[in-house]
Structure 1
Amino acid sequence: MTNASQDHPIQNGSDDAVLDEKLRGVLLQVAGDSQLRPEEDVEALLRQRLRDTRIEIPEASIPGLAKRIPGLTQRGGGDLSPGAH
């Protein structure tokens, strides 16, 4: 028996799943924010929520994610992958 500890997920992609879930939550929050404050820029709201939750994604991904936000509450989801445009 060893004293080794498991410091990371066993399966490859586990970290990605957690990030995807967090990102989905942030996008749903921004969708709600944008309904309450339609005069505010969705990309700015998204950047703020990402900062607040300390989620780091490439700046180039922001516009593509922001385009998905208006339909999230209507459709209930969609492909939220940061690299998808």
Structure 2
Amino acid sequence: MIHGRVNPNQTLETQGITGVAIAHYNYAESALVEAAVVRDEGRLGLGGAFLCSTGQFTGRSPKDKFVVRTAATESTIWWDNNAA
């Protein structure tokens, strides 16, 4: 079952995702928050913000860092870290 507007060229199946019984597409923010609250995935705070806990592992890993090679970083970073 599909809820919301779907781009027929970008369905879950065309992305390699199969076996999904219900898919929610392009919902407005209020509908997303309502669905999450109904499923007990979070709650609304006093000011109306959606609050949720992502569990033990939150944020990005400290080792998950990326630096883009530019003219400014070319001479200041040792790019050949495999030769260490």
The TM-score normalised by the length of structure 1 is 0.22
Which of the two has greater helix per residue? 1
Which of the two has greater strand per residue? 2
- The higher-RCO structure (CA 8 Å, 6+ apart) is 1
The TM-score normalised by the length of structure 2 is 0.22
